[in-house]
Amino acid sequence: MSIRIQAACSELIWAVRLNLMWLVFTLAGGVVLGLGPATVAAYSLARRHARNETFHDWTEFWTVYRREFVRASLLVLPAAALATVLVGNYLYLSALGPSMGALRIATFVALIALAGVGAYVGPLYAHYDLPLRAYWPKAAQLALMRPASSVLLLLALSTIAYATSAAPVLAVLISFGAWIYLNTWLCQRFFQENEAQLHSKGNS
């Protein structure tokens, strides 16, 4: 039991460190320019951690951040801009009252769809070497092909989001790192299952 507690505490500390690195490097890029490369670097390190690799956190984070600066921005920023617009529209429509119920629901569904697809993009980028334009379509394909996995990812995201809304200090302490860590851990298993299924079909 003590070994399990020690392992859980170690993973918790890792999520806190990952959260700190993501925040520092996102802010270092003025948020807009830092968001993409910081997110990709965080997913890259989360994948390596999930594979039990040994590395120097801050050094490796900076290396990936610098190397992926342009590609990561092109990958993340359009989706971040779309999410910002959708959230803004949802809040605006909510303020207008019940008469905008249909549009508000449609906006909410679009947000859920974006979150469901986006939950695969970071892990995909860290795990597979694809053309930049292929990641979002591939993520959409996975989200549709694996509905149970997509629901699980959305539940995990909504749980972390709810906890953060109830205690905003969690955003500074662990929320982003916890999501990236859990998102990566789950998707690594989804990818392995998907590859095993494709391999079995290829041999049949």
Q: Read off the amino acid at residue 2.
A: S
- Hey, what are 100's tokens? 């905008």
Are the beta carbons of 176 and 23 closer than 8 angstroms? yes
Q: Domain-by-domain residue ranges, the chain?
A: 2-203
Q: Please give the pLDDT value at position 100.
A: 76
Q: Please give the pLDDT value at position 5.
A: 82
Are the beta carbons of 73 and 49 closer than 8 angstroms? no
Q: What does the pLDDT look like over 97-133, one tens digit per residue?
A: 777 778 899 999 999 999 999 999 999 999 999 999 9
Q: Please give the pLDDT value at position 7.
A: 79
pTM (predicted TM-score): 0.93
User: pLDDT below 70 — which residues of the chain?
Assistant: 1, 202-204
Are the beta carbons of 75 and 135 closer than 8 angstroms? yes
Q: What does the pLDDT look like over 18-35, one tens digit per residue?
A: 999 999 999 999 999 999
Q: Please give the pLDDT value at position 203.
A: 63
Q: Please give the pLDDT value at position 99.
A: 74
Q: Please give the pLDDT value at position 202.
A: 64
Q: Residue 167: left (phi > 0), alpha (psi -120 to 50), or beta?
A: beta
Q: Please give the pLDDT value at position 96.
A: 83
Q: Please give the pLDDT value at position 196.
A: 81
Q: Please give the pLDDT value at position 181.
A: 96
Residue in 123, 92, 95, 107 with CA at minimum distance from that of residue 192:
123
